[in-house]
Structure 1
Amino acid sequence: MPNAVIPTRAQLVQRAAELAPVLKKFAAQAEADRRLHDDTIEALTEAGFFKLRVPKRYGGYETDTRTLVDVAAELGRADGATAWTTSVYWIPTFMTAMFPDAVQDEVFSTPDVRICGTLSPSAQAAPAPGGIVVNGKWSFVSGAHHSHWQEIVAVLFGADGPPQPIMALVPIGDLQIVDDWHTSGLRGTGSVSTVAQDLFIPQERVLPLGAVLQGQYASELNRDNPVYRTPLLPVASASSVGTVLGLARAAKDAFLERVTSRGITYTGYEKQAEAPITHHQVAEATLKTDQAEFHAHRLSGLVDSKGESGAEWSLEERARARADMGAVVRLAKEAVDIFASAGGGSSIYSDAPLQRITRDIQAVSLHALMNPNTNSELYGRILLGQEPNTLYI
């Protein structure tokens, strides 16, 4: 497959901005359907957003993580569910680039391939001739309905040595989709559960998770590529935060759209924009969003610069990557909460964008890997010279 013409970061961000009318048009329908609308998927495909982490040799763009942050932020400004699902696809796509090159040939033979995934080892695997057999269930699998493949994690028992977590690639048609996504936030992401029952996976599509988390990949062609020679968790962190930044910006957009045309009930302010409390609220929330942007760009800058240089990652740098991700979530949520608090009672109506933004960012903040408290604790632990208490660093 010939290499694609690679758009610049500015061009990709502009494409994301131009999608806003489509994304907003189908946001409410996506919430009702509990998955993205097919027209949204088509628009994302035409914009090339499923190519961002695909290797160039398959027609992909091989974009850096700064581009992921900025594109997702623009998508999130229009619809959080769309931005989240797109970002989630980027991470397993990156992970696929760790597998043997022949496996990549198989997966990336599908144009604009969509790969969902998880890092939770909630299934069990056993050795079998030529591979493994997996049984189990994975939850919170965003975008599963529109995926071609799923990256899974399971614990392998019965092989030489103690049980170990493994990562594997599975065609989505080999899994059962359980339509159990009934939630208060991120409803449009279709983050359903998937189930494997006595599923055989050939050995070439299986990697030890511990090796992957330490940057020990099986691909020969991607090994020295700056985009793919970075550790998984910092990459996943940088790939995720743009959506959160976009939600904070969306909250500001929604608030400013209404603030000049409404008063503050039971006060003398006929225009909310004239009230000093409103001035403080807008300023504080905007500064928090600016701070979130700083952490998002510091995170992506670290990931991209280390990839370019090929330098080893220190334990503190790995922990700081997760801390930066947590900081983006905390600051962006605080900004959204301020705008929501200032939005007044009319902002809770179902057709008001601010109520959906509030629910979506609450859902993101509860994600196990993005929770600000979990990430701050890990960073502080490392800064105090203690060993990490998790593989996910």
Structure 2
Amino acid sequence: MNQDTINELRREAAIAECMGTLITEQLDVIYKEKWFKLFVPEAYGGLALSLPEGLKIEETLATIDGSLGWIVTLCSGATMFVGYLQPNVAREIFADEKVCFGGSGRASGIAKLNDYGYEVTGRWHYATGAPHNTIFTANCVIEKDGITLQNEDGNPLIQSFFFTRKEVTIHEDWNTMGLIATAGHSFEVKNVQVAPIRSFTIDSEHATLPNPVYHYPFLQFAETTIAVNTLGMAQHFLDECEIIFKQKENKASALLIKKLQEAITDLNSFRQQFYTAVEISWNIFAATQKEDLKTLQNVSIASRQMVNKARVLVQELYPFCGMIAADQSSTINRIWRDIFTASQHSLLNFPG
């Protein structure tokens, strides 16, 4: 990505925050670069990237702006569900060059099994990118004749579904201190009848495409994509710290620059460990199509360690930034708010 594009996207970030959503100029770049389709096959107009390749792009975008990186990450992660849809369905959906999936993983809907498929009712929170989602995905508990169906283990049967934009009602209730432009509003469907082909299952056994990304364990896919967003935002925070620290008095500036350089070294070390773990795991899986539990566990550990270190480093440096860091119109304040809004995504907050 050239520096002019980076600078323009950063200039637009403050406008997007004021608007509460990505603006047209940002979306035009996303569509042109196919960032919502990082993991979509070329046959469907995507980039068909490997996981490590996609992570590098997501990290770069999060370094430019937190909301930009977060939207691309979660929407491209949802659009990746193309690998679990029936080919005729996928072809129809991806005929739209501006296709963008978004939704929720929480099973807060009910799908009633009937002779025609399913009748679905539910409301789901936090659909990142809701203003420009063309497809909404959601999980539902399955019922038949008023009885909740169960898996073999005795837990309620849960399946994933997708809905078109016309079928959902969007509730504009995203009201957070950070990641404001991600516009993660709630959406709702009421008594919507869908055919069986509108349901899908996210695991290797149910993948309809051969690409390794659709067979690699989704847990580690999700962990790593969330992790690189915190990494990118933390790197941006450190960049802003450098600008601020260099403007301070000589003695204070020298001490703070030294502290900053130590933080940069620490974060880079954890970044290297993270990417090493990801690449080892990915390469083994791509070569064998078999899950290596040890390397997958290493990915989960490295993701958490890197995210935790990034948050700690940001918190340690924040008090030295001065009142500009408390000014809600400043870049460094926006980054801080974005990082700690992202921290409320629970995936990496507890041991894997």
TM-score (norm 2): 0.91
Distance in 1 (alpha carbons) for counterparts of 2:81 and 2:281:
15
- Of 123, 133, 151, the residue aligned with 1:137 is 123
With 22-31 and 278-287 compared, the bigger mean Cα shift is at 278-287
How far 1:248 sits from its partner (Å)?
Answer: 1.2
Structure-to-structure mapping, 1:362-377, within 5 angstroms: 362-371=340-349, 374=350, 376=351
How far 1:271 sits from its partner (Å)?
Answer: 5.0
Equivalent in the alignment of 2:153: none
Q: What secondary structure sits across from 2:348 in the alignment? A: coil
- Of 32, 35, 40, the residue aligned with 2:18 is 32
Residue 44 of structure 1 pairs with residue 33 of structure 2: no
With 191-200 and 294-303 compared, the bigger mean Cα shift is at 294-303
- Of 230, 238, 252, the residue aligned with 1:272 is 252
Equivalent in the alignment of 1:321: 299
Distance in 2 (alpha carbons) for counterparts of 1:198 and 1:279:
59
Structure-to-structure mapping, 1:217-256, within 5 angstroms: 217-219=206-208, 222-223=209-210, 225-256=211-242
Q: What secondary structure sits across from 2:170 in the alignment? A: strand
How far 1:63 sits from its partner (Å)?
Answer: 0.5
Distance in 2 (alpha carbons) for counterparts of 1:33 and 1:239:
26
Distance in 2 (alpha carbons) for counterparts of 1:29 and 1:96:
32
Relative distance call for 1:282 and 1:186 in structure 2 (3 A) is same
Relative distance call for 1:325 and 1:218 in structure 2 (3 A) is same
Equivalent in the alignment of 1:100: 86
How far 1:254 sits from its partner (Å)?
Answer: 0.5
Return the letter of the residue paired with 1:216.
E
State the Cα deviation string for residues 255-304 of structure 1 (Å, max 9, x = none). Answer: 111222223xxxxxx453223xx245213321332134124413531453
Equivalent in the alignment of 1:181: 174
Q: What secondary structure sits across from 1:126 in the alignment? A: strand
Relative distance call for 1:117 and 1:305 in structure 2 (3 A) is farther
Equivalent in the alignment of 1:197: 190
Relative distance call for 1:93 and 1:294 in structure 2 (3 A) is same
Return the letter of the residue paired with 1:195.
E
5+ long unaligned stretches in structure 2: 151-155
Return the letter of the residue paired with 1:189.
T
Equivalent in the alignment of 1:259: 245
Equivalent in the alignment of 1:72: 58
Equivalent in the alignment of 1:124: 110
Relative distance call for 1:120 and 1:291 in structure 2 (3 A) is farther
State the Cα deviation string for residues 124-155 of structure 1 (Å, max 9, x = none). Answer: 11102232111111111100111110121111
Aligned residues: 345
Contact 1:116-1:141 within 8 A present in 2 as well: yes
Contact 1:69-1:296 within 8 A present in 2 as well: no
Relative distance call for 1:314 and 1:180 in structure 2 (3 A) is same
Contact 1:125-1:133 within 8 A present in 2 as well: yes
State the Cα deviation string for residues 36-70 of structure 1 (Å, max 9, x = none). Answer: 11211112212232232111212221111212221
Distance in 2 (alpha carbons) for counterparts of 1:141 and 1:302:
32
Return the letter of the residue paired with 2:108.
S
Q: What secondary structure sits across from 1:54 in the alignment? A: coil
Contact 2:177-2:337 within 8 A present in 1 as well: yes
Equivalent in the alignment of 1:298: 276
Contact 1:288-1:334 within 8 A present in 2 as well: no
Structure-to-structure mapping, 1:49-68, within 5 angstroms: 49-68=35-54
Identity of aligned residues (%): 21
Return the letter of the residue paired with 2:206.
Y
Contact 2:141-2:148 within 8 A present in 1 as well: no
Return the letter of the residue paired with 2:195.
P
Contact 2:138-2:161 within 8 A present in 1 as well: yes
State the Cα deviation string for residues 137-186 of structure 1 (Å, max 9, x = none). Answer: 11111001111101211111227942311011211221111100111111
Relative to total residues, which structure has the larger helix share, 1 or 2? Answer: 2
How far 1:229 sits from its partner (Å)?
Answer: 2.1
Distance in 1 (alpha carbons) for counterparts of 2:110 and 2:28:
35
Distance in 2 (alpha carbons) for counterparts of 1:105 and 1:303:
31
5+ long unaligned stretches in structure 1: 1-13, 264-269, 379-393
What value does the CA root-mean-square deviation take over the aligned residues? 2.1
State the Cα deviation string for residues 206-253 of structure 1 (Å, max 9, x = none). Answer: 124xxx24x22241xx13x22322122222222222221111110111
